[in-house]
Amino acid sequence: MLNIYFLILFAKSKKRLKTLQLCGILCVMRVKAKLKKWQEKGLLDEGTSKQILDYERARMASHFSLGMQLCGGFAVLLGVALIVAANWHELGRQAKIIAHFILNISVSIWLFKVGYDRTKPVLQEILTLGLFGLNLTFIALIGQVFQLDGTIAMALFVWMIISVPLVMVYARSGFTAWIWLIALYLTAFLLLKEYGVLLEDEYERFLLAYFVSLFLPLALYADHCMPLTQKFRPKFAAAFRKTSILAFVVGASLSSMLFYDGASEIAREAPSYLVHLVCVSAITGLALVYIALCHRYFSKYDDYDYDWGVLLLSAAFMGLPLLSTLESSVLAALHFVCFWGAIGAMAQKHGAEGIVNLSIALIAIRLYIIFIELFGDALMDTGIGLIIAGAVMIMFVKLAQKFKRYIGQRGAVQNAE
C-alpha cells in the first residue's frame, strides 16, 4: 500500500511530475543540440529538423505515458499482493489454491479478449506482466501449501518454461522484454549454481558454466536476427541484441581478471593442462564457428557485420586468458587494452561515436590502474607511478582529441566529395 501512496503522492505533485518528465526533455534536448549542429553544418534544412524534433517529442511523450501506466499497474499488483499476504493465515489451503486459480483464469480470459481486439496495447502489456507474475506466485503457493522441498532455481526454471509462450505471444514493449531477460539470466545463473554441483567435479562445473555463458547470449542474439522476431517483436529483438552484446563485452572485459590468478587455478582443477587446453579451445572454437555460421545465414536478411564482429572478438578474448596459466597484471592490462582498442577501432569504422569515446576512456583508466599496480607498494613508488600514469593519461587524451579531429576532418572531406 505504501507504494501506491507514494505513487499517488508523486503523480499528484506537478513539480515532481516535471522532474519525471525531465529525463524525456533531456533526451529531446540532446537531439535538439545535435540537430542545431547539423543545421549549422548545412547537413539538414530547417523543415526536416523541425519534423525530426516533433517526432522525437511525440515519441518521448508516449514513452513517458507508457512507463507511468506500467509503474501504476505494478504498484496496484504489489499492493493487492501485500494485502493478501497480511491476511494469509486467515485463508485455508484450498481457498488459497482455488482463489489463485480463479485469478489466473480471469486474467487469462481478459488478456485473450484484449489481445484479440488489439485496441488497448498498454492494458495488454500490464495484463501480460501481471499474468507472468501470477504464474510465479502460483508456483510458490503450490510449494508452500504442499510443503514441497523445491529450490528457487527449479521454481524459476518451471516459471520460465510455462511462461515463455505467454510472453512471446502477448508482450510487445521493451520494458517487458528486459524484465523477461533479467529473469532468464537469473534463472540460468541459479540453475548453474544449484544444479552444477550435481556434476562430478569442479572442472566439469567450470566447463558447463563457460559453455552456458557463451551460448545463452549467442542463442538470444541469433533469435534477434530471426525474421519472426524482427517482424513481430521488434522491441524484443532489440533487447535480445543489446543484452547479448553487453554480456559478451562485459564478459570479455572481466575475463582479463583471470590473468591475476583465476585461470591457473582453473587449469589446476583439470585432469591435465592438455585436457584443459583442448576443452577450452573446443568450446571457444565452437562459439566462433556458431557466430560465423549465424553471420553467414542471417546476412541475407540484414547487415549485422558490426554486431557479429563484436561477438567474434569478445568470444576470442574471453577464451584467451583461460588458455594461459601465466599470472601477470601487465598481461591482464594488455588483454583489456587490446580488447577495447579493437572494439574502438570497429566502432570507429561503424560510426558509433559513443563506443569510440567509451573505449578511449576505459583504456585510459586501465592504463592508470596498471601504473598504480606496478608502482603502488611504497609512497615514493606510488608517487612516481601516479605521475607517470597521469602523464600517460594526458598524452592519451591529447592523442584521442587529435584522433577525433582527424576523424572529423576525414568525414568532412568525404562529405565534400
Task: Give the residues lining the site for other proteins (CB under 8 A).
Answer: 88-89, 97, 101, 104-105, 108, 111-112, 115-116, 131, 135, 138, 142, 144, 146-149, 158, 162-163, 165-166, 168-170, 197-201, 226-228, 230-232, 234, 237-238, 241, 301-304, 307
User: Rounded to the nearest whole angstrom, what is the least distance from the CB of residue 164 to other proteins in the complex?
Assistant: 8
Nearer to other proteins, 131 or 294 (CB): 131
User: Rounded to the nearest whole angstrom, what is the least distance from the CB of residue 132 to other proteins in the complex?
Assistant: 10
The answer to whether the beta carbons of residues 393 and 361 sit under 8 Å apart is no
Nearer to other proteins, 52 or 338 (CB): 52
* Cβ neighbour number for residue 335 with a 10 Å cutoff: 23
Which is nearest to 71 in space by CA: 129, 110, 120, 111? 129
**CA pair distance 212, 358, nearest whole angstrom:** 28
Nearer to other proteins, 46 or 303 (CB): 303
User: Rounded to the nearest whole angstrom, what is the least distance from the CB of residue 399 to other proteins in the complex?
Assistant: 30
User: Rounded to the nearest whole angstrom, what is the least distance from the CB of residue 68 to other proteins in the complex?
Assistant: 27
The residue with cell 510472453 is 167
377: helix, strand or coil = coil
Nearer to other proteins, 132 or 259 (CB): 132
User: Rounded to the nearest whole angstrom, what is the least distance from the CB of residue 55 to other proteins in the complex?
Assistant: 15
Nearer to other proteins, 78 or 103 (CB): 103
Nearer to other proteins, 86 or 378 (CB): 86
**CA pair distance 341, 362, nearest whole angstrom:** 9
Nearer to other proteins, 202 or 373 (CB): 202
Q: How far is CA 417 from the centre of its chain?
A: 39
User: Rounded to the nearest whole angstrom, what is the least distance from the CB of residue 269 to other proteins in the complex?
Assistant: 12
Which is nearest to 169 in space by CA: 114, 110, 242, 115? 115
**CA pair distance 92, 90, nearest whole angstrom:** 7
User: Rounded to the nearest whole angstrom, what is the least distance from the CB of residue 101 to other proteins in the complex?
Assistant: 7
- Output the CA–CA distances (angstroms, integers) from residue 339 to 98, 145, 317, in the order listed: 56, 52, 7
User: Rounded to the nearest whole angstrom, what is the least distance from the CB of residue 70 to other proteins in the complex?
Assistant: 20
**CA pair distance 117, 170, nearest whole angstrom:** 12
Nearer to other proteins, 225 or 332 (CB): 225
Residues contacting 159, CB < 8 A, separation 6+: 135, 136, 139, 183, 187
292-311: burial string, b at 16+ Cβ within 10 Å, e else? eebbeebeeeeebebbbbbb
